[in-house]
C-alpha cells in the first residue's frame, strides 16, 4: 500500500459509493484493482465471496487472478469472483435459466453457429449479406434490445426487415435451447430489470463490483453493471478513453459520461503517472493521441529515462519487413543479451503474421503466435464439443447435425432433409425425431441403420453423464463416437494424427482442471467462452499478436509492423469514419513499449494475386519527427544495420546447415 502514489491510494481507499478511475496507459491500474480487492477484504469492508471483478477478456481475468493470488495469501481470497462479463452472464443464466425459458444444459452458439442460422434463415443470400445481417442483430442485442423492442424501434424498411430476421433468429435459438454470445449479457439484463426479487438476490450476492477497461462496455453491459450495482452503486470502474478500441462490437465510451449522470455522487480519480514507458515513447504516444478530441483531459507523464531512439523503417514489401524485424531481434538478443520474451511484434490484422513467422523460423527464433487457428475452431475439437452439447441438450439441432455426420455414418444430406421434414411436422427437435421408429422406417435402410447406431451411442453417453466425471465422459465420447478412429483414418501420417489427437487430449484436460460444477452442459458452455487468446503463453519466446490482443501487456522491445495507410488505419475504418479508433489502436501499441519501439511500413504488398503500392500511415506524420529515426538517416545506425544483416545472414546459413 505504501508504494502507491497519492491518486492510486485514494482510489484504493475509496470504498463507499461509485468511483471512476481514469487510468492512463501503464499507470498501474491492475495494481490498483488488486490492492483494492486486498483492502476490501482485509479491512472487513466486504468478504471475498461478495466481491466481483469483471474484465473483458479471459486473458485479463486470468492475469488478474494470478496477481490476486500472489498478493493475497492463504484462503482469504476464496470465493472471490474474477471473470469476464460474458462468463458472469453465463453463470447468471445457469442459475436463473428458468426466468428466460431456458432449460438446464442450454447450448452456447459460437459465431459460426450463429452465421449458419442466419444464412439458413436468409436462403440464397450472399455471405457478406449474411454477415451484415448478423451484425445488425448483434448491434441490437448489444444495445440491449429484445426482438420486440428492436421491431418497435425500427425505422424504415431495412431496419424493419432486420428486426423481423432478429425475431426469427431468436425463435430458432430458443427452439434449440441455445443462446449466443450477446445473449449472455442481454438476457441477464432482461431478467434483472424485470424482476425485483432476482435483482435483490444478486445484489446480496455481489456487494462490491470492480470493472476493468470500462471504456469497452457496450450499452447492454453498462445496464448489467447498473442493475448489479444498484442505487447505492458500490463500484469501482477503471478505464481509459484513449484505449477504447472495441467500438466495432458496440463498446460505447460515452458510458463513462453516462455514469456521471446516473450517479451524481460519482467520484473521479485520475492516474496520470506512467511507470511503464520510456519518456520518449510516452512523448510520441501523447503527441499521437493529442490528435483525437478529448472529453476527459489527462496528461500522462513519466520520470523514466528517454530510452532508445524510435525507429521508423521503410521496407520493400512485407517479406523484407519481416526479415528486418527478425534480424533486428536476433541481433539484440545477442548484442544486449535480451531474452526472446522481451520482444513483441504487433500488427493490425492476424493475417499479417505469416511473413513474420516465416522470417522467424528461418532464423530459428522461438515465437508464440497469439490468435492462430483457435483451439476451439479446430475441426476435431468442434466435433467433440458438438457431441457433448447434444448429450447435454437434445434440443440443439446444430450440434446434432454436426455430430451425426462426424464421423460419417451413411446419413447424408438427403436423409437429413427428410428427417428435418419429419421433425418439423412432429414438432420435435432433430435428435428426438431421429429416435422415433416411425421416422427411421421412412429413411433408406443404410441411413436408418446409421441413425440408430448414432442413437445408441448418444443414449450410452447420456446414461453415463450422471456418474462419470466430465473428463471421463469426454474420453468415453471421443472413443465411442468413432471420432478417434475417423481421425486416424483421415490423417496421412502418424505425426499429424498424434498432433490432432493431442488437441482432443487437451480438451479433456480443460475439463479436468476446469471449473467444477458436475453438469457436463455447464462445462461445455464455459468452454465455449474460451477464446483464441487464452492458450498458454509465456515461456522464452518472441510474442506475435494483433494490436487488440496486446492491450494490457508490456514488452521491452516492441515492433509495430504494417504502418501503412489502409492497414493502420485500416481502410474499412477510414471508409466508415472511425479514424479516431484506429489512432487509439496505434496508441495502445506504442504504449506497450517499455524501452524501444520500431514502426515499419512496406512500399508494396502482394494482395491476392496482384502487387499493391502502399503509402506510409498518415499517423506517422502526426508523430514528433525529432523523436524519430528514419531508416538510412544516420550513418551509425546504418553501420549497425549492416552488422545485423551480416549476422542474420550467418544465422540463416547456419539454419540451413542445421536443417
Catalogue the active-site residues: 29-30, 212-213, 243, 592
The verdict on whether residue 25 carries a ligand-binding annotation is yes
Identify any residues that bridge with 209 across adjacent strands, giving them in sequence order.
52, 235
- Nearest distance in Å: CB 570, DNA: 4
- Alpha-carbon separation of residue 88 from 70, 91, 104, 219, 411 (angstroms): 23, 5, 17, 16, 39
Among the residue ranges 3-11, 158-166, 323-331, 566-574, the one whose residues contact DNA (CB under 7 A): 566-574
Among residues 186, 409, 584, 641, which is the contact residue for DNA, using CB under 7 A? 409
Q: In terms of CB distance, is 277 or 529 closer to DNA?
A: 529
* Residue of 592, 589, 595, 593 lying closest to 619 (CA atoms): 589
Q: Which of 31, 50, 86, 592 binds DNA (CB under 7 A)?
A: 86
Answer yes or no: are the C-beta atoms of 390 and 465 closer than 8 Å.
Answer: no
Phi, psi of 369 (to 5 degrees): -95, 120
Output 351 or 636, the one with its CB closest to DNA.
351
Task: Choose, by CB under 7 A, the member of 334, 414, 424, 496 that binds DNA.
Answer: 414
**Any binding-site annotation on 276?**
yes
Q: Which member of 5, 16, 43, 111 binds DNA (CB under 7 A)?
A: 111
Inter-residue contact 82 to 118 (CB < 8 Å): no
320 binds DNA per the rule CB under 7 A: no
Instruction: Count interface residues toward DNA (CB under 7 A).
Output: 48
User: Least distance from C-beta 272 to DNA, angstroms?
Assistant: 27
The single residue among 433, 447, 484, 588 that binds DNA, judged by CB under 7 A, is 447
Q: Which of 190, 278, 573, 617 binds DNA (CB under 7 A)?
A: 573
Would you give the end-to-end CA distance of the chain in angstroms? 53
Nearest to 538 by CA among 339, 390, 328: 339
| Of positions 576, 612, 642, 650, contacts DNA by CB under 7 A | 576
Calculate the alpha carbon distances from 32 to 57, 342, 658 in Å.
Answer: 18, 25, 49
Minimum CB distance to DNA smaller for 225 or for 549 = 549
The span from the CA of 30 to the CA of 186, in Å, is 27
| CB-nearer residue toward DNA: 515 or 624 | 515
Q: Are the beta carbons of 93 and 522 closer than 8 angstroms? A: no
Per CB under 7 A, 349 contacts DNA: yes
User: Among residue numbers 593 through 652, which ones bind DNA (CB under 7 A)?
Assistant: 607-609
Nearest residue (CB) to DNA, 546 versus 595: 546
Report, in Å, the least distance between residue 123 CB and DNA.
Answer: 11
Give the interface segment with DNA, choosing from 63-71, 154-162, 323-331, 403-411 (CB under 7 A).
403-411
CB of 124 to DNA, least distance (A): 10
Q: How is residue 16 written as a grid cell?
A: 463507499
304 or 567: CB nearest DNA: 567
Q: Does 123 bind DNA (CB under 7 A)?
A: no
- Binding-site member from 174, 405, 442, 519 for DNA (CB under 7 A): 405
Cβ-Cβ contacts under 8 Å for 130 (sequence gap 6 or more): 115, 118, 119, 122
Are residues 272 and 299 in contact, defined by beta-carbon separation less than 8 angstroms? yes
Among 156, 351, 513, 657, binds DNA (CB under 7 A): 351
Task: Report the alpha-carbon distance of residue 392 to residue 112 in Å, rounded.
Answer: 20
In order of 124, 187, 557, the CA distances from 560 in angstroms are 41, 39, 10
CB distance 216 to 251 below 8 Å: yes
Among 188, 233, 450, 562, binds DNA (CB under 7 A): 450
Would you say 11 is a known binding-site residue? no
Residue 271 or 404 having the CB closest to DNA: 404
Half-sphere exposure of 38 (CA within 13 A, CB side): 18
397-422 b/e with 16+ CB inside 10 Å = b? Answer: bbbbbbbbbbbebebeeebbeebeeb
Is residue 85 involved in binding DNA (CB under 7 A)?
A: yes
Do 364 and 655 contact (CB within 8 A), yes or no? yes
Given the complex with DNA, which of 50 and 59 has the nearer CB atom? 59
386 in contact with DNA (CB under 7 A): no
Region near DNA per CB under 7 A, out of 307-315, 425-433, 443-451, 648-656: 443-451
Q: Which stretch binds DNA (CB under 7 A): 21-29, 193-201, 273-281, 546-554?
A: 546-554
Q: Is 26 annotated as ligand-binding?
A: yes
Nearest approach, Cβ of 397 to DNA (angstroms)? 17
Hey, which residues between 249 and 268 contact DNA (CB under 7 A)?
Answer: 249
Kindly tell me which residue out of 140, 529, 558, 597 binds DNA, with binding defined by CB under 7 A.
529
Q: What is the closest distance, in whole angstroms, from the C-beta atom of residue 218 to DNA in the complex? A: 9
Q: Interface residues for DNA in 174-233 (CB under 7 A)?
A: 181-182
Question: How far is CA 184 from its chain centroid?
Answer: 15
CA 349 to chain centre: 14
Least distance from DNA to the Cβ atom of residue 566, Å: 10
Residue from 11, 80, 198, 411 touching DNA (CB under 7 A): that is: 411
Whole-Å CA distances, 561 to 139, 325, 544, 578:
31, 9, 11, 20
- Cell numbers at residue 410, please? 451413411
Total residue count of the chain as it appears in this document: 659
* In 308-352, alpha helices (H): 318-335
Decide if residue 58 touches DNA (CB under 7 A). yes
Does 498 help bind DNA (rule: CB under 7 A)?
A: no
Is 488 assigned a ligand-binding role in the annotation?
no
The position carrying cell 492458450 is: 535
Beta bridge partners of 124: none
Give me the half-sphere count of Cα atoms (radius 13 Å) on the Cβ side of residue 249.
11
d(CA 154, CA 352): 39
Q: Binding site annotation covers 30?
A: yes
* Residue with the three cell numbers 476446469: 514
Question: Do the beta carbons of residue 429 and residue 175 sit within 8 Å?
Answer: yes
Give the nearest distance from C-beta 647 to DNA in angstroms: 28
Instruction: Tell me if 457 sits within 8 A of 440, measured CB to CB.
Output: no
Measured distance CA(566)–CA(582) in Å, rounded: 11
Question: Nine-digit cell at 502?
Answer: 493431442
**By C-beta, is 446 or 642 nearer to DNA?**
446
Is 469 annotated in a binding site? The answer is no
Least distance (Å) between residue 569 CB and DNA: 9
Buried (b) or exposed (e) across 445-459, using 16+ Cβ within 10 A? eebbebbeebbebbe
| CB closer to DNA out of 76 and 116 | 116
Shortest CA distance to 5 belongs to which of 30, 27, 21?
Answer: 27
Query: Whole-number minimum distance, CB 108 to DNA, in Å?
Result: 10
Nearer to DNA by C-beta: 160 or 408?
408
- Which parts of this chain interact with DNA (CB under 7 A)? 56-59, 84-87, 111, 127-128, 181-182, 245, 248-249, 348-351, 371, 405, 408-415, 444, 446-447, 450, 529, 531-533, 546, 548-549, 570, 572-573, 576, 607-609
Residues tagged in the binding site annotation for ATP? 23-30, 276
Amino acid at each position: 500500500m505504501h508504494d502507491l502514489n497519492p491518486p492510486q491510494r485514494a482510489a484504493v481507499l475509496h470504498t463507499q459509493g461509485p468511483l471512476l478511475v481514469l487510468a492512463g496507459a501503464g499507470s498501474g491500474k491492475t495494481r490498483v484493482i488488486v490492492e483494492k480487492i486486498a483492502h476490501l477484504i482485509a479491512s472487513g469492508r466486504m468478504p471475498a465471496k461478495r466481491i466481483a471483478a469483471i474484465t473483458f477478456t479471459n486473458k485479463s481475468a486470468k492475469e488478474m487472478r494470478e496477481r490476486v493470488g500472489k498478493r493475497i495469501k492463504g484462503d482469504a481470497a476464496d470465493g472471490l469472483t474474477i471473470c469476464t462479463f460474458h462468463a458472469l452472464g453465463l453463470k447468471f443464466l445457469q442459475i436463473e435459466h428458468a426466468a428466460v425459458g431456458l432449460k438446464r444444459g442450454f447450448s452456447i452458439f459460437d459465431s459460426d453457429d450463429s452465421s449458419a442460422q442466419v444464412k439458413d434463415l436468409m436462403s440464397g443470400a450472399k455471405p457478406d449479406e449474411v454477415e451484415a445481417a448478423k451484425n445488425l442483430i448483434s448491434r441490437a442485442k448489444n444495445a440491449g434490445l429484445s426482438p420486440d423492442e428492436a421491431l418497435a424501434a425500427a425505422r424504415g424498411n431495412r431496419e424493419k426487415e432486420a428486426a423481423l430476421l432478429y425475431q426469427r433468429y431468436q425463435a430458432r435459438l430458443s427452439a434449440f435451447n441455445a443462446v449466443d454470445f450477446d445473449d449472455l449479457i442481454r438476457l441477464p439484463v432482461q431478467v434483472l430489470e424485470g424482476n425485483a426479487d432476482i435483482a435483490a438476490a444478486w445484489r446480496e450476492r455481489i456487494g462490491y463490483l470492480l470493472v476493468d477497461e470500462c471504456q469497452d462496455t457496450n450499452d447492454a453491459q453498462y445496464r448489467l453493471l447498473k442493475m448489479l450495482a444498484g442505487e447505492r452503486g458500490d463500484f469501482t470502474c477503471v478505464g481509459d478513453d484513449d484505449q477504447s478500441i472495441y467500438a466495432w462490437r458496440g463498446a460505447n465510451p460515452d458510458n463513462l459520461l453516462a455514469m456521471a449522470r446516473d450517479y451524481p455522487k460519482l467520484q473521479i480519480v485520475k492516474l496520470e503517472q506512467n511507470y511503464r514507458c520510456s519518456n520518449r515513447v510516452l512523448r510520441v504516444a501523447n503527441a499521437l493521441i493529442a490528435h483525437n478530441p478529448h472529453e476527459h483531459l489527462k496528461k500522462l507523464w513519466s520520470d523514466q529515462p528517454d530510452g532508445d531512439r524510435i525507429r521508423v523503417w521503410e521496407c520493400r514489401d512485407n517479406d523484407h519487413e519481416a526479415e528486418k524485424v527478425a534480424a533486428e531481434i536476433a541481433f539484440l538478443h545477442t548484442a544486449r543479451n535480451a531474452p526472446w520474451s522481451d520482444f513483441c511484434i504487433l500488427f493490425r490484422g492476424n493475417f499479417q503474421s505469416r511473413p513474420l513467422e516465416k522470417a522467424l523460423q528461418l532464423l530459428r527464433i522461438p515465437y508464440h503466435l497469439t490468435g492462430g487457428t483457435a483451439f476451439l475452431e479446430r475441426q476435431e475439437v468442434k466435433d467433440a464439443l458438438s457431441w457433448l452439447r447434444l448429450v447435454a441438450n437434445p434440443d440443439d439441432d446444430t450440434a446434432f447435425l454436426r455430430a451425426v455426420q462426424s464421423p460419417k455414418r451413411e446419413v447424408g444430406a438427403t436423409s437429413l432433409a427428410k428427417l428435418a421434414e419429419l421433425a418439423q411436422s412432429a414438432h420435435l427437435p432433430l435428435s428426438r425425431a431421429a429416435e422415433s421408429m416411425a421416422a427411421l422406417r421412412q429413411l433408406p435402410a443404410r441411413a436408418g441403420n446409421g441413425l440408430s447406431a448414432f442413437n445408441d451411442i448418444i443414449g450410452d453417453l447420456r446414461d453415463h453423464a450422471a456418474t462419470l466425471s466430465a473428463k471421463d465422459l469426454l474420453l468415453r465420447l471421443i472413443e465411442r463416437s468413432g471420432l478417434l478412429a475417423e481421425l486416424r483414418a483421415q490423417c496421412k501420417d502418424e505425426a499429424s494424427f498424434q498432433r490432432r489427437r493431442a488437441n482432443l487430449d487437451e480438451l479433456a484436460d480443460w475439463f479436468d482442471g476446469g471449473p467444477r460444477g458436475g453438469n457436463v452442459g455447464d462445462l461445455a458452455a464455459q468452454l465455449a467462452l474460451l477464446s483464441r487468446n487464452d492458450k498458454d503463453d509465456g515461456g522464452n519466446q518472441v510474442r506475435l499478436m494483433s494490436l487488440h490482443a496486446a492491450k494490457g501487456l508490456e514488452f521491452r522491445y516492441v515492433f509495430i509492423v504494417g504502418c501503412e495507410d489502409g492497414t493502420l488505419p485500416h481502410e474499412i475504418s477510414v471508409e466508415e469514419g472511425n479514424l479516431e479508433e484506429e489512432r487509439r489502436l496505434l496508441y495502445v501499441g506504442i504504449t506497450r513499449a517499455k524501452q524501444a519501439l520500431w514502426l515499419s511500413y512496406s512500399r508494396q504488398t502482394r494482395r491476392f494475386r496482384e502487387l499493391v503500392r502502399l503509402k506510409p500511415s498518415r499517423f506517422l506524420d502526426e508523430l514528433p519527427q525529432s523523436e524519430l529515426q528514419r531508416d538510412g538517416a544516420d550513418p551509425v545506425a546504418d553501420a549497425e544495420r549492416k552488422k545485423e544483416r551480416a549476422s542474420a545472414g550467418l544465422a540463416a546459413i547456419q539454419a540451413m546447415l542445421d536443417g
